[in-house]
Amino acid sequence: MREELDKKLTKTFPYLYADRYTDMRSTAMCWGFECGEGWFKIIWNLSKDLEAEIKKQPKEKREWYKASQVKEKFGGLRFYMNSSTEKMEKLIDKAERKSYKTCETCGKPGKRNDGGWIVTLCDRCEEKK
C-alpha cells in the first residue's frame, strides 16, 4: 500500500494503529499494511468501525485494542489484533469476507484465482498479471 494511504490510516485511527511504528519484536504492524490498495476502502471502513468500538471501552483499557498485523493471505484480507471484543471480531470477519469479492489491486469486484499464487483480482487485473 502506498505510504500516503498508510499514513492516512495511522493518523486517522490512532488507537487502532498505535503500534504502527513500534519495534518488530513487539508487533508485525512495523511492516505496515501488507496488501494491495484495492482493499483500502475495506480497511478504512473496518478501521473506522473498530476505532469507534475502541472508544466505547473504558479509557484505561483502550490501549489493549490495537491492530497487530494487516496483510493478504491466500487471496483474503487478514486483520489481527492484540485483543478484541466479540463485536470487533464480527466486524473483522465481515471485512475479510468482503475482501474475497474485491480486487486487491483496483478495488473493483473480483474473484479468488487459484492458479499458483492465490490472489483475488478482477478480470482486467488478472489479465495484466
Domain boundaries, given as residue ranges, for the chain: 3-101
Supply 9's cell numbers: 490510516
Supply 42's cell numbers: 475495506
- The separation between the first and the last C-alpha atoms of the chain, rounded to the nearest angstrom, is 17
C-alpha span between 45 and 9 (Å, rounded): 10
pLDDT tens over the chain, length 129 residues:
999 999 999 999 999 999 999 999 889 999 999 999 999 999 999 999 999 999 999 999 999 999 999 999 999 999 999 999 999 999 999 999 999 999 999 999 999 987 778 999 999 999 887
pTM for this entry = 0.94
* Cα torsion angle, 3, 119, 103, 28, sign: negative
